Amino acid sequence: MANPIRTLLNTLLELFYPSNCVGCGQPQDSGTFLCELCKATAPRIQPPFCRCCSRPFEGAIDGEFSCPNCEDRALAFDCVVSIYQAKGVLRDLIHRFKYGGHFHLRRVLTEYLLEAMQDSRLQATPVDCLVPVPLHPTRLRERGFNQAGALAEVLSKRARVPVLHCIERRLYTNTQTRFDRMERMLNLRNAFALRENSNVRGRHLVLLDDVITTGSTLHECALVLRAAGAESVRAVTVARG
């Protein structure tokens, strides 16, 4: 944990005030994490959206389609299921979870993942293991925890799917937010590798991350899993950046 005392305080607050909305802090009695007003600030993505990366498309398209971002490159994953935009309360929750020491928010964020796991693309074939996108050891020391790993642990218990920490991040990459898609892909090349003594041969895997932006990170991780003999590689994220 980045700050154990702050995390403990947050956990205690949550224990004593479980009925307050985690978005606005207002009391509510619905027994859910978020009040209706907060939840409405990050609505679910409606069709049509890209069947590969879940990117929404404005306009009328019938049936399945791929967006230009996916169409012109050979992606190593079968699909990324990401059914909410990272805006409004959801963007705020993810930020507080990753950078603000609000570790307890992993539970509400997992609710979004559980909903995504119901998507037909993830239900079509059984999932053998969840594979969280790893952080570089230096970044892990800075942040105190791996957000994808923390979410995978909670989702594992709720969805009854084991977690496999089988990828490691070898290269410390600079923050990618300034980069365009091509720069991100070059920046990430060979950043990931299969961990020693990991065996994914023949398995149906689902990569897990907090947010998808261009999909380059998930693509690079999927390449590693495919090369190691995984039968299928899909991915799930809390939201689209």
Dihedral of CA atoms 158, 160, 161, 162 in degrees, nearest 10, equals 100
95 residue type, one letter: H
Contact residue for Zn ion among 53, 117, 130, 200 (CB under 5 A) = 53
For Zn ion, the closer CB: 166 or 218:
218
Q: How far is it, in rounded angstroms, from Cα 29 to Cα 51?
A: 37
Tokens of 16: 């004593």
Rounded to a whole number of angstroms, the minimum distance from the CB of residue 19 to Zn ion is 11
Tell me whether residue 70 or residue 86 sits nearer to Zn ion (CB atom). Answer: 70
CB 109 to Zn ion: min, Å: 15
CB of 54 to Zn ion, least distance (A): 7
Q: Does 193 bind Zn ion (CB under 5 A)?
A: no
- From candidates 70, 83, 113, 148, binder to Zn ion by CB under 5 A: 70
Site for Zn ion in 8-47 (CB under 5 A): 21, 23-24, 35, 38
Least distance in Å: CB of 26 to Zn ion? Answer: 5
Question: Binding to Zn ion by residue 67, rule CB under 5 A?
Answer: yes
**Strand runs labelled E in 105-173:** 129-132, 167-169
Q: In b/e form, how buried is each residue of 205-225, taking b as 16+ CB within 10 angstroms?
A: bbbbbbbbbbbbbbbbbbbbb
The residue type found at 129 is C
Of 52, 127, 224, 230, the residue at the interface with Zn ion (CB under 5 A) is 52
By beta-carbon proximity to Zn ion, the closer residue of 67 and 159 is: 67
Compute how many residues bind Zn ion; rule: CB under 5 A.
12
Burial zone of 22 (CB within 10 Å; 0-12 exposed, 13-18 middle, 19+ buried): buried
Provide the minimum distance between the beta carbon of 2 and Zn ion in the complex, in angstroms, as a whole number.
25
Distance between CA atoms of residues 101 and 96, nearest Å: 7
Which is nearer to Zn ion, 55 or 234 (by Cβ)? 55
- The burial of 230, by beta-carbon neighbours within 10 Å (0-12 exposed, 13-18 middle, 19 or more buried), is given as buried
Tell me which residues touch Zn ion (CB under 5 A): 21, 23-24, 35, 38, 50, 52-53, 55, 67, 69-70
